[in-house]
Every structure is written in structure tokens, then in C-alpha cells.
Structure 1
Amino acid sequence: MGFPGTTNRYYTSWEVAERRDIDNAVRINIRNLRQQAMLEEMLADPQVRIQYASKYAGSTNAYKNAIGTNWAINKRDFEGVKKQMQDELLAWSQKNCRSNYIEAIQTLETIV
């Protein structure tokens, strides 16, 4: 998801871990609490159920999306794949005296 023309394809291993362990974890916990609160109110009053139906469905979609994203990250070991790619780039950079790539990788690690 996201805006047209954006991609998560070039995430580093640190960004993948941050997405899984921080961003999605917070989304899952917050959405779960929101779902529980909304469901209690919806079950108590039929009019509230009708009023909240669309918001509840949208919140459920975001909740399930975060869970599914984490599942895919873990199942496909995206963090490990990205780490391997970074290690290969680092080894190539050191072999070919490309210090700018080494510095870029180190900078990305400190930023994330």
C-alpha cells in the first residue's frame, strides 16, 4: 500500500526489522484495543452498530494488513535476505575500495 509511485522494495534489513517490530507492532496493538472498544459499543446499541460499521471495517482491514505484513516478513525471512544483500554489497565495496558505499551503509544503520 501507499502512495502511487512509492515502494518498500529497497528497504534495508534495519528498516524491515523496524517495520515489523515497531510500526506494525504498534498498529496491531492499537487497532486491537480500538476494535474491542468499538465492538463493545456496537453490541450494546443497534444504532451505534450501524454508525460504526464502516469505521470498524476499515480499522479491521488495517489491523489484518499489519498482521499479514508481519507474517510475510517472517515467513520469507525478508530481514535475512536484506542482511545478506547488504553483506554482499559491503564485501564488494571493501574488495573494490569503494569507501562511499561503506560509509553509506554505516550511515543508514545509524539513522535507522
Structure 2
Amino acid sequence: MTTNHIERLDPALIRPGRVDMKLELYLADEDMINQLFHFDCELLHLGQEFVAKVPKLEFSPAEILSLLVANKHSPRHAIANVVAWMEKLKDEKTKLTRITSWALDDNDRFGDH
């Protein structure tokens, strides 16, 4: 189970016996980006090239791993397309932020009546 907002979960959902361990995952630094690349591809020389293209502390390990899994048969393709992938992901995050902001603004307006 994963969540970005553990405080919003019902305590019954995360009680001992259902959730035995809580682990906080941070945004990926250079070392984690490199480890994710090697985990999937085990190509040391390409890992450094991949790390150099992905800014540290900007993407989650899950986001990076999704690119690597999608390109698991062609690590060179992952490297060649990582810049376009990052731009697309940033655009999606920007759109989601705008939508979330708009929805929150609408909720505030409804509360004023």
C-alpha cells in the first residue's frame, strides 16, 4: 500500500496487523537514480550517463522506475528519451496542480454560501 498522505488514512486501515511496517520514501537522489538503473539493466557504463541526465531530488523512485520498466529491453532508448519523458511528466504535474488548485478554489467558494 502506498500513499502520499498517511494522515488522511483511516486508522483502522493502517493498524498493526494490516500494516506491519511504515517506510517513508524520499525523492530520488543521484545514488538512488543510479541504483534504479542498475537494478533493471545491470549496465554500469550506461547508468552514469542516465544519472547525468536526471536531476536529483526531482522525481520519485516510482516515476523513474516506470521509465526504466517501459524501456527494460532497451536501456539506450531510456537514455535517449529521458529528457522528453521528464518534460512530459513535468507538464502532467503542472496540469494536475492547476486542476487541484481549481477544485480547491471551487470548494472554498461553495463553503461561503
Normalising by structure 2, we get a TM-score of: 0.31
Structure with higher RCO (Cα < 8 A, 6+ apart): 1
Task: Specify the structure having the higher radius of gyration (Cα).
Answer: 1
Q: TM-score, normalised by structure 1?
A: 0.32
